[in-house]
Structure 1
Amino acid sequence: MNIPQIQIRTTDAKLGLNIEKGQQTIRQPKATQHIEQPAAIVDIRTTDGVMRIDSSQARRDVGMIGPLESSANFAAEGRQKAMQGIARRVSEGNQMMDIAHNPNAIVSIAKKNTFPNKKALGIEFIPSIGSVKLDYIPAKLDINVQKQDPQISAQLNKPIHEYKQGQLSGYMLQNPSIEIDVIV
């Protein structure tokens, strides 16, 4: 007995795709900045230093004396020498009055007046040491600084985003098919 047979042949469908990729660009512009630093305020105040020099004693030591002081010095020296002369003459007169007790009074008076006292040799500093007097008041310096804060302004820029959508399209490369055969 022959039984009929069915033969089925199929062909699969094949799809083709056209793909166009999407494009995306993202750019981030830098922030816009402005920075300014104002200069600090500096206030400087000074008080001048003062130096006082008193050289009047040194000037006197080297003989530089004003006319009023010079005439006063000469008058005082003259008065002193006159008093010394009077005292010497009184002393000599007393010695002469007392010649009975001191027979060598005339000899001693003659020796005193004939041979003056010898002056000692020595080094003398003119002007004398320490005759110039210095007085110094130092200068004062006062510095005030006021700092200034920086001025910063910043502006953020948004990102630039561009997007082009991709395309996708399909097409049939091979159509599907079914063939059925009956074999007897």
Structure 2
Amino acid sequence: MLQPILQIRQTSALIGIDADPGSISITQPKADLSVNTTPGELTVQSYRPKLNVDQSRAWAAYHGGNMLEMNKRIYSGIQQLYLQGIARKVEQGNRMAQFFRPGNTIAEVYGTDTEPNSFPENRGPASYDNVDINIETTAPLINFRAAQVNLEVERHFPEIEFNRGKLDIYMQQYASIQFIPPEVNVQL
């Protein structure tokens, strides 16, 4: 005889999970850099050389120079000529005082004095070094200012964005137990 069998059916619970991952984005703007440069400056101030030429002694040698210098030379020359003339007359007088000596006759003493008295030189001495040249130079003024560089940096913090993901947990199927009784034949 067959024994009746009780059937038990069980279904497991199913959990459903729907997940979308989250996302993160990080951006960082570049830093702002500001560069200000003051250029260097170089100034040079130069001076022309000064040339001084003094040729007054050359002009005095050519034509006597200016009137004051020429008159001074003539005046001092006349004094010399006057003193030389007096000395010559004294010497002639001394010779005449000794007329008894041979060669001291009037004709010989005054007869040989036929050269005219010269006029004093009114020009200056001639020389190759009568022109004075003087050159004056001045050193240049040099000013230098170095260049300057100013840096300004403005930094920016990173920008972070986070988008949450989705996580849904649900019961896709509930657990169940089913008991199926055996068929009972009631025919008796």
Aligned residues with identical type, % of pairs: 24
Contact 1:49 1:140 in 2 (8 A): no
Which piece of structure 1 moves more, 50-59 or 40-49? 40-49
Preserved contact between residue 31 and residue 156 of structure 1 (Cα < 8 Å): yes
SS at match of 2:79: helix
Q: Is contact 1:62–1:127 with CA below 8 Å preserved after alignment?
A: no
8 A Cα contact 2:95 2:104, kept in partner: no
- The amino acid of 2:155's aligned partner reads L
SS in 1 for 2:74: helix
For each residue in 1:69-112, what CA deviation from the matched residue of structure 2 results, as whole angstroms up to 9, or x when unmatched?
A: 212322322332233223223323323432433437839x84x8
Please state whether the residue corresponding to 2:63 is helix, strand or coil: coil
2:53–2:131 contact (8 Å) kept in structure 1: no
Bigger CA radius of gyration:
2
Tell me the distance in 2 between the aligned counterparts of 1:177 and 1:113.
178
- Kept in 1: contact 2:28–2:158 (CA 8 A): yes
Note if 1:77 corresponds to 2:77: yes
Partner of residue 156, structure 2: 157
Shift of 1:28: 0.9
SS of the aligned residue for 2:24 comes to strand
Alpha-carbon distance, 1:9 to partner: 10
User: TM-score by structure 2 length?
Assistant: 0.53
Aligned to 1:24: 24
Query: CA 1:167–1:62 in structure 2 vs 1: closer, same or farther (change >3 Å)?
Result: farther
- 1:115-145 residue CA offsets vs partner (Å, 9 max, x unmatched): xxxxxxxxxx954427516374745747485
Q: What is the TM-score normalised by the length of structure 1? A: 0.54
- Residue 26 of structure 1, CA deviation: 0.9
| Structure 1: segments with no counterpart, 5+ residues | 1-7, 115-124
| Partner residue in 2 for 1:122 | none
Structure 2: how far apart are the matches of 1:150 and 1:138? 35
Does structure 1 retain, via aligned residues, the 8 Å contact 2:9–2:178?
yes
Matched length: 165
Distance 2:53 2:162 in 1: 90
When residues 134 and 102 of structure 1 are mapped into structure 2, their CA distance, relative to the original with a 3 A threshold, is: farther
Specify whether residues 88 and 167 from structure 1 end up closer, same or farther in structure 2 by C-alpha distance, changes over 3 A only.
same
Does structure 2 retain, via aligned residues, the 8 Å contact 1:33–1:154?
A: yes
1:34 is matched with 34
Contact 1:23/1:164 (CA < 8 Å) preserved in 2?
A: yes
Matches within 5 A, 1:46-85: 54-63=54-63, 65-85=65-85
Which deviates more from structure 2 when the two are superposed, residues 129-138 or residues 85-94? 129-138
Q: Structure 2, unaligned stretches of length 5 or more?
A: 1-7, 116-124, 180-188
Distance (whole Å) between structure 2 residues aligned to residue 19 and residue 51 of structure 1: 100
CA RMSD of aligned residues (A): 5.1
